[in-house]
Amino acid sequence: MLILQIIVLLGAIFLGVRIGGIGIGYTGGAGVLVLGLLLGMKPGNIPWDVILIIASVISAISAMQLAGGLDYLVQIAERILRSNPKHINYLAPIVTYVLTIFAGTGHTAFSMIPVIVEVAKEQHIRPCVPLSIAVVSSQIAITASPVSAAVIYMTGVLEPLGWSYPALLLIWIVTTFVGCMLTAFVMTIISNMDLDSDPVYKERLAKGLVKPAQGAAQMELKPFAKRSVLIFLVGVVAVVLYASAISPAVGIIKNVIVPRDAAIMSLMLLVGMLITMLCKIEVGDVASCSVFKSGMVAIVCVLGVAWLGDTFVSGHSAEIKEFAASTVAENPALLAVVFFFAAMLLYSQAATAKAIVPAVVAALGITAENPGDSYMLVATFAAVSALFVLPTYPTLLGAVQMDDTGSTRIGKWVFNHAFFLPGLIAIVFSVVLGFGACAIF
């Protein structure tokens, strides 16, 4: 029966991956149905909190996009990249990392991919090098963004165990950012940077398939673009300040009436309202924005695959707890491996954390009275960002499709693609640095 359940779990995920996009959400729901009706497993919990946080954040970002705010951010980012193009391997991941920290979604990297390709071509640098690091950085930054569903969930788990919200943000921002920068350094050293030596590029160039570099794009901003960015930024700051104030370790607000999840959702919806009113956007057009469409796809994917994952994990919680208690307790770094492989299948940082963390907490006997092993969760959190392993994530595919030089490609064996090595290196650095940071705190 266990073998059949595993086959259904993996089969649903891989079928969803083959369909692509929203398909993994569809097949996740189908997998829950098969596990329940045919294999006797009780359906798990639907991650409503994660879904609603994603929905509220995406709605605010979509309003900002409609007001021209994302165009303004892209304009700033392009200036940064073009200010010192020879250092694009470092500047590109910095830009995508900051955009993700700010917006709480890695889909903002889409807007930077064409710019990165253009600047790399101008410098005769193979675009796959800065692109791969930048896409990976946009994924890992989710584990450090104050408005991402994954961070909000993890802080909710860890705060009762004695970790303050500001301390967690500081640890995750510092360790993941430094991890990404170290990855950029390593990839710069070990990668072939010369675009003119790439055989695929030379072949495509000979066939006339490579567009010449266009130079800096002249983008006309909408009248209230800057105002929309300011409103969204104030909203993000308000989220951080409120979440810090109600953190038990900080204790500025002791009688908490509005919990953190409700506050973040309501603040993001308020941001959307203010942008709508003060930036004079047509609210009916919000649903047509590319960010809104991407967000809806993400919501359905999380619904299906996280529900499927929770159904399987809940049905085998006893075995998982036994494994965690006997192995993870002896070797904390193994938790990063568990997170890594779970994220590879569950396709979402928040869904992975939601599925694995409760079982690990219960297995290790972590409580408010006995929080000793909780540092493992803090240190290894970045490993839930292994969404790059299967080359099917939207920003990864976008980078492959938008790089007309052909240097960013997927190999015959699926896993041998441009993003695997920098992603693995970035997670290893982030986790190692995480253990070091936890030792200090």
Tens-digit pLDDT profile for residues 69-81: 988 988 888 889 9
Given a cut of 80, whether residue 411 has pLDDT beyond it is no
| Assigned token pair, 61 | 């970002």
User: CA nearest 120: which of 12, 66, 194?
Assistant: 194
Q: Does residue 214 have a pLDDT over 90? A: no
Whether the CA torsion 197, 200, 206, 211 is positive or negative: it is negative
> For position 384, what pLDDT does the model report?
94
pLDDT at 346: 78
Which backbone phi and psi does 410 adopt, to 5 degrees? -105, 130
Contact assessment for residue 155 and residue 260, using Cβ atoms and an 8 Å cutoff: yes
Q: What is the reported pLDDT for 344?
A: 84
Check if the beta carbon of residue 229 is closer than 8 Å to that of residue 72: yes
Q: Of 135-139, 198-202, 428-432, which gets the smallest average pLDDT?
A: 198-202
Q: What distance in Å separates the CA atoms of residue 341 and residue 386, rounded to the nearest whole number? A: 7
**Residue 434: pLDDT above 90?**
yes
Task: Report the SS3 class of residue 103.
Answer: helix
- Three-state SS at 417: strand
Judge whether 113 and 269 are in contact, CB under 8 Å: no
Which residues have a Cβ under 8 Å from the Cβ of 376 and sit 6 or more positions away? 328, 332, 335, 360, 364
Amino acid at 60: A
pTM of the model: 0.86
Given a cut of 70, is residue 231 above it in pLDDT? yes
Q: Do residues 148 and 49 touch, judged by C-beta distance below 8 A?
A: no
What is the residue whose two structure tokens read 């946080």?
A: 53
How far apart CA 417 and CA 188 sit, in angstroms, is 17
Per the CB < 8 A criterion, the answer to whether 148 and 381 are in contact is no
Computed on alpha carbons and rounded to an integer, the radius of gyration of the chain in Å comes to 22
Contact partners, residue 159, CB within 8 Å, separation at least 6: 165, 168, 247, 248, 249
Q: Kindly write down the DSSP assignment for every residue of 167-181, as one continuous string.
A: HHHHHHHHHHHHHHH
pLDDT per residue as tens digits for the range 117-172: 989 998 899 999 999 999 999 999 999 999 898 999 999 999 999 899 999 999 99
Would you say residue 377 has pLDDT above 80? yes
Is the per-residue pLDDT at 414 higher than 70? no
* Count, residues in the chain: 441
Q: What pLDDT score was predicted for residue 253? A: 86
From CA 66, how far away is CA 139, in angstroms rounded? 24
pLDDT of residue 255: 85
DSSP 8-state secondary structure symbol assigned to residue 128: H
Q: What is the Cα–Cα distance from 399 to 113, expressed in whole angstroms? A: 6
- Distance, in Å, from the CA atom of 376 to the CA atom of 158, rounded to the nearest integer, reads 11
At 218, the pLDDT band (50, 70, 90 cuts) reads low
Q: How confident is the model at residue 216 (pLDDT cuts 50, 70, 90)?
A: low
pLDDT digit string (tens) for 290-318?
Answer: 889 888 888 888 888 888 888 888 888 77
pLDDT at 321 over 80: no
Calculate mean pLDDT across residues 397-403.
85
Rounded mean pLDDT of 268-290? 93
Spell out the SS3 assignment of 335-391: HHHHHHHHHHHHCCHHHHHHHHHHHHHHHCCCCCCCCHHHHHHHHHHHHHHCCCCCC
Residue with tokens 């992975």: 352
Query: pLDDT tens-digit profile of 6-30?
Result: 899 888 888 887 787 788 889 999 9
Q: How far is CA 148 from the centre of its chain?
A: 8
Classify residue 140 as exposed, middle or buried by CB count within 10 Å of its CB (0-12, 13-18, 19+): buried
Residue corresponding to tokens 């308000």:
238
- Note the pLDDT of residue 356: 85
pLDDT at residue 386, as a whole number: 92
176 pLDDT more than 90: yes
Q: Judge contact between 342 and 309, C-beta under 8 A.
A: yes
Region 240-257: what's the mean pLDDT?
A: 86
Note the pLDDT of residue 132.
94
Query: Rounded mean pLDDT of 80-86?
Result: 89
336-366 pLDDT, tens digit per residue, is 998 998 888 777 898 888 888 888 888 888 8
Which of 46-50, 224-228, 242-246 has the weakest average pLDDT? 46-50
